[in-house]
Each structure stands twice: as structure tokens, then as C-alpha cells.
Amino acid sequence: MPTSAPRLARLARLVRLVRIAGHLLRALAVVLALVVVFLALIALTDGAGAGLAAWAAALGAGTVLALWRGRRRSRWSRLTPFLPVIVAAALTATVCVPTAPTTRRPPPALPFVSTQHWSLATGSRVAVYHYPPADSGSRRPVPLVYLNGGPVRGISVQDHRFLRLLARQGHDVYAYEQAGGGRSDLLPMDQYTISRSVRDLAAFLDRLGRGRADVLGFSSGAVVLTRALADPGVAARLHRAIVAEPGPMDGPTARIDGHRGRASARGLAPAPAGPRSTRVPRYAVAFGLMRLGLLTPGTALIGQAEGDNAFTAADLGGDTASAYCARDAHRIPAEDTARTFSFSPAASLRVQQTVKDSPSIAARLRLSRTPAMLMIAECSSQVRQWATAVLANDPAVRRTQYMPGVGHHMWNGLDDNDARAAAVVTAFLRDEPAPLPNHPTRDGIPAFLRAHE
């Protein structure tokens, strides 16, 4: 029976739709291919010319491809292959155009403490904060210096609250933001190294001019302090050391793939609110490729100042949640304000890489004689062996305080966590009995690791 006219018409429409879909899929494939070529060239050229070198090369390749595809077509249809090239050029051009200021914009001054700027003998110019001791009979003559985490990050408002609490307990507290972090001046990218951070600590203590000082190092700041303990020249400037939640102290330690503490809030907490630079193509590409190791921290794609200005607290995402216990997932406090937050992703990656590339410091750490205390959080997101490596190799660690009910950020403003952390710090610096059991001990490290505490 002959095919009816309506049926033929439907069949013709279907054929046209299939052809159109085929054309669209081919065009989409060209766009995606050119985007991949562009990203590959960004990595190969390390973002030369703010990405324009890769963009021009990808556009040139797309143009050659379009000319080849249109070589046997009629005059006007030859332009059709250029449409996906134009779309790809527009998409990739967004990676080459800055949307954040390209000159450094440090956070505004804090309303509750004055910011001083000290020029150190190393050439670093750092932002310094001083909390004098409260007027009480418990005032300590030895200054307490705080090294914050980051590694290249401003001291959070939350940390400043904890430092004020320590001052109210009689400590003469000084803190400085490491070079490139917060309100401190930037360094050339190749000068961000863990060794430079240790030298800056020594230079800061010399500039302080108060003799030997107590030092509290947290997270990456604890790494700086651990390496200072392994350097006799720097250790001679230290009175007592508190190593709180350390990262890996050297390359061999960084390669340890061990377990972490009790469950953290990572993956449980609501996504942080606020704008994210990683939703902007330029910074999503730059930070993403840097994190994958496909761009160097000193990439020409974005300058250091632009990257610092663009990065927001929301970009840290699950990293912030991982610093809290799972039970606190729905009440994680704001660690900073949008205006005072400051983090340098490129410089931080650079410092972390120099730690990973460094040889073992264990033999030198075994010669340490500076009285030290180790603080470990119950819900720590750090590999446990990073902390136990310090305990195992530093014979001068006199006590270990396992802090229950807190994550990596042990002083966090929740419940009585700040007061408990301050009590542990104060008891050690005054050589008073520890508020918590000495756990784990050096001999108890194997049992501690087996128990997955």
C-alpha cells in the first residue's frame, strides 16, 4: 500500500531534525575540542601573556580547521564552520580577562586592635598585632608569639578572639601574618618557601627584642615551629613551644598516607554562603589547574595580587567544614568576615610544595632541647602520623594534650572550646599540671594509631 502524504511529511521532518542534531553535535564537538586545546596550551605555556598566547594559538587552529572544512562549499556556506570557532573563542576569552583588581587590596584595619608593620632582616614586611596582658598578678614576663595556619593566610577574626582570651589570662601576646598573608606585604613567588618562613620567625623574634619567647604554632604555623625546633640557631630564641595540629614537617612525612581523627563535618555541613571565584571561568581554570599541578604557583595566567583579591572564604568549601566535628556540622561559626578574609592560594601551594620537596628533619629534631607540648584534636582532619612524627622524634615534647570534642580548629567559639584550649596552653607555659591526661605518650603511639582515635 503506498505511503500516505502525512506520513512522508513526518518522515521528512524527522530526517531534518536528525540532520540538524548532527550539525549541532559536530559544532559542539568542535567547540569542546578547541576548549580542550586552549586548556592544554594554558598548561604548556604556564598561562603566558595572561592566557592570550594560548587563546591566539587555539583560535588560529580553529580558523585553519574552519577553512579546511569549508573549502568545497559555496561562497556563503563557507562561513558556517566559523560559528563554533567564534563560540569557542568567546568562551575561552573569559579566561583571559581579569574580573578582580590586579593590584593588591589588603583587608581593612581591624576595629579592635591596631596593625603595625615591621620590616624584618629577611626583607619581609609583616603585619603585627599586640595584645598586652591584662592587669593581674598572673602576668607572664615571657612574650607569647602566635603563628597562624594557612600557610599564607590572614589571621582570622576567630583567632584574634582567642588571642585576646590568652591576653586576659596574663599572656603578653604577639602575632604576625606571614609574608604575603593578610595585611603583610607580598613576596616574589619564588621566595615563598618553608625555609623562608622559619627565617622570618627568627627575624621576628630578634625584632621583638624580648629575649627568648614562647611560640604557639597552629596547623601550617606548627610546621614552621617544628622546623624551627630542628634548627639550633632558631631554637635558641625559643623558650617554650606549643605545636598544635601540625601539618607534615618534611617530605617523608608528607608522603605518609595514614588515617585521620574522628569524623569531621566535611560533606555534612551546608555549603558556605557567599560569592565564589571558582564560579568565574578565569579563576576556576587558574586555581583548578594550579591545584592539579598543571600550572605553577607563579603562573603568568593570573598575578599573585589578582589571585589573592579574587579568592573568597566560600572557595574553601569543605576545607572549612573539615576543621569541625561532625556533630557541629550545622552550627559552624563564621571564622571571618567577607572584608577581613584573606588567603593566597598560589603562595600557599608554593610553600606546601617546598615542604613536600624537603628532606627529612627527623635527625635534627631529635637534638631538640626546647620544652614543647603537642596538641591534637579529636576530630582532626590532619593525618595522625603528622602529629605523632613530632612526638616520636622530638625528645623535648613533655606532654601531649588530646582535645576532645573539637576538630582541627580547636579554638572555634563554640561552647567552652576556647576556654579549654586556653587552659591547656596556660598550664604548659606556667609549668602547671596538665588539665588533660598526657595522651598519647611516646611509647603509646602504636596503640594510639591502631585505635584510630
Condensed to tens digits (0 to 9), the pLDDT of residues 138-179 reads 678 899 999 999 999 999 999 999 999 999 999 999 999 999
| Contact yes or no for 380/260 (Cβ under 8 A) | yes
Q: What is the pLDDT of residues 307-366, one digit of tens each?
A: 999 999 999 888 999 999 999 999 999 999 888 999 999 999 999 999 999 999 999 999
**Cell numbers describing residue 380:** 582532626
Count helices and strands in the chain by DSSP H and E runs:
16, 8
pLDDT in tens, 267-281: 999 988 888 998 899
The share of the chain scoring above pLDDT 70, in percent, equals 93
Spatial CA neighbour of 177 closest among 164, 186, 169, 189: 186
Listed range (67-71, 92-96, 153-157, 419-423) with the worst mean pLDDT:
67-71
Q: Note the pLDDT of residue 88.
A: 87
Residue type, 328: D
**Burial (CB count <10 Å: 0-12, 13-18, 19+), residue 452:** exposed
- The answer to which of 54-68, 168-182, 291-305 has the lowest mean pLDDT is 54-68
The pLDDT of residue 80: 74
Any idea where the domains of the chain sit in the sequence?
5-93, 116-450
Domain 116-450 has CATH 3.40.50.1820: yes
Kind and range of the H or E run holding 116: strand 116-119
Cell output for 278: 571558582
Q: Which of 331, 432, 320, 327 is nearest to 378 (CA)?
A: 327
- Indicate the pLDDT class of residue 375, thresholds 50, 70 and 90: very high
Rounded to an integer, the average pLDDT of 50-63 is 90
DSSP state of 241: E
Q: How far apart are CA 248 and CA 389, in angstroms?
A: 9
Q: Residue type at 108?
A: P
pLDDT at residue 83, as a whole number: 86
Confidence of residue 252 (pLDDT cuts 50, 70, 90): very high
pLDDT number for residue 73: 66
Q: Tell me the pLDDT of the chain averaged across its residues.
A: 92
Q: At residue 245, what is the residue type?
A: E
